[in-house]
Structure 1
Amino acid sequence: MLLITCPWCGPRDEAEYHYGGQAHVPYPERPADLDDEQWAAYVFYRDNPKGPFAERWMHSTGCRRWFNVLRDTVSYEVLASYRLDAPRPELPQAGGNR
C-alpha cells in the first residue's frame, strides 16, 4: 500500500485516493481543429516511462481536491506530491554529490 501526502490533508493511505492518470497533459489550444486521430491521441495515448512519472490523484475521502504526485514506476516510491498550480519538483540526479 502506498502512503501519499495530500498537500492539504497530509499523509494518508492510498485507499483514500482516486488515480487520475498522467499529469501535465495540456488541453489542445484549438480543439475544434483536431481530427479524430488527433483527438484519440489526446484522450487515450499517455507516456509509460520506467522511473519517475508525474500523475494526478484526488483525495476522494478527504478534501476531494486534485493534486500531482511524482512516483517511481519501478519501485512505486512516492517521490513528491504538489498542488496543481505548483511546478513539477526537480529531482536530484542519480550518482550526484551526496
Structure 2
Amino acid sequence: MLMLECPYCGVLADETELAPGGEAHLTRHGPGSSDDDFQDYLFTRENPRGVHFERWRHAHGCGKWFHAARNTVTLEVYGTYPAQTTEPPKEVCAKITGAAPGWTWRLFG
C-alpha cells in the first residue's frame, strides 16, 4: 500500500485517505495561449517507469494539495513537499540520486 506523509499536517496517510491529482510540475496554459500549448497542457504527460513527481490531496485530512516524488516500479517514496514548490527540494533530489544513480532533474515544459 502506498503511504505518503502530508507535508502540512505531518500525518502519514495511506492512499485511501488521499486523492491523486496527476503529474506535478506542469506548465499550465489557459486563455491567450496557443492551441498547441493548450493541447500539450491537457494531453501530454510523462508516465515514466521509475522516478515520477505527482500531485496528491490529503482529502480525508487537512485537505491541502502537495507533491510526492516516488518510484512507479517499486513504490518507494523519496519525499513529499508543498504544492507551491516549483521544483523538487534538494534533499528529495539527493535521496533520488542515492537510490537511482544517474538520475537528473529536468525542467518540465
Q: Same fold (TM over 0.5)?
A: yes
C-alpha separation between the residues in 2 aligned to 1:39 and 1:49? 22
Alignment CA distance shift 1:40-1:95 (3 Å): closer
C-alpha separation between the residues in 2 aligned to 1:6 and 1:63? 9
Q: 1:41: Cα distance to partner?
A: 1.6
C-alpha separation between the residues in 1 aligned to 2:32 and 2:63? 31
C-alpha separation between the residues in 2 aligned to 1:56 and 1:2? 14
Identical columns (%): 38
5+ long unaligned stretches in structure 2: 103-109
C-alpha separation between the residues in 2 aligned to 1:41 and 1:85? 21
C-alpha separation between the residues in 2 aligned to 1:95 and 1:71? 15
Aligned to 2:28: 27
Aligned to 2:18: 17
The alignment status of 1:92 with 2:101, answered yes or no, reads no
- In terms of mean alpha carbon deviation, does 80-89 or 42-51 score higher? 80-89
Residue type of the alignment partner of 1:78:
V
Q: When the two structures are superposed, what TM-score results if normalisation uses the length of structure 2?
A: 0.75
Cα distance per residue 1:8-55 (max 9 Å; x no partner): 232111100000000000123x741312x4322211110011111000
Aligned to 1:67: 66
Between structures 1 and 2, the one with greater strand share: 1
Give secondary structure in 1 for the equivalent of 2:69.
strand
Aligned to 1:7: 7
Give secondary structure in 1 for the equivalent of 2:8.
coil
Residue type of the alignment partner of 2:49:
K
Q: How many residues align?
A: 94
- In terms of mean alpha carbon deviation, does 84-93 or 55-64 score higher? 84-93
Q: When the two structures are superposed, what TM-score results if normalisation uses the length of structure 1?
A: 0.82
Give secondary structure in 2 for the equivalent of 1:85.
coil
C-alpha separation between the residues in 2 aligned to 1:95 and 1:46? 24
C-alpha separation between the residues in 2 aligned to 1:27 and 1:95? 30
Give secondary structure in 2 for the equivalent of 1:81.
strand
